[in-house]
Structure 1
Amino acid sequence: MISGGKLKPLKQPKSGKKEYDEHDMELMQKKKDEEKALKELRAKASQKGSFGGSGLKKSGKK
């Protein structure tokens, strides 16, 4: 008899490869393309340094 402590949960059987239909494959491909585009934009932005204006400016008024 075990007293105290946590009981270990039973291990779940590993699921095999999932079956994807055409719609799922389209969504996955679209997501990959978006991630690739974002990565390229980040690379371009890092090469140019800061983009646009100079950020927030403080006014001289008190």
Structure 2
Amino acid sequence: MSGRVGGEKKPLKQPKKQAKEMDKEDMAFKQKQKEEQKKLEELKAKATGKSPLATGGI
């Protein structure tokens, strides 16, 4: 019995991605994204803590 007769073939191994060098622009961009993500999370926390605006009635 041979192992893979008529079955699926193994996919070829992909070469590992090279760790690309990040320049100052990339570092600044990533930092900016992190800060924006923090702000969004804080706003979400504030929004969920409050009661709905359209409450009240007759």
TM-score band by shorter chain is 0.5 to 0.7
1:15 and 2:10 are equivalent in the alignment: no
State the TM-score, normalized to the length of structure 2: 0.67
Tell me, in whole angstroms, the C-alpha distance in 1 between the residues paired with 2:53 and 2:21: 44
**What is the match of residue 49 of structure 1?**
51
Q: Which moved more, 1:34-43 or 1:14-23?
A: 14-23
Aligned Cα RMSD in Å? 2.3
Structure 1 residue 17, shift from structure 2 partner: 3.1
Q: What is the percentage of aligned positions where both structures have the same residue? A: 49
Q: What are structure 2's unaligned runs of at least 5 residues?
A: none
Q: What amino acid does structure 2 have at the position aligned with 1:7? A: K
Q: What amino acid does structure 1 have at the position aligned with 2:34? A: K
If asked which structure has higher relative contact order (CA below 8 Å, sep 6+), I would say 1
1:26 aligns with one of 14, 25, 28: 28
Tell me, in whole angstroms, the C-alpha distance in 1 between the residues paired with 2:26 and 2:38: 18
Q: What are structure 1's unaligned runs of at least 5 residues?
A: 55-62
SS of the residue corresponding to residue 43 of structure 1 reads helix
Structure 1 residue 4, shift from structure 2 partner: 2.7
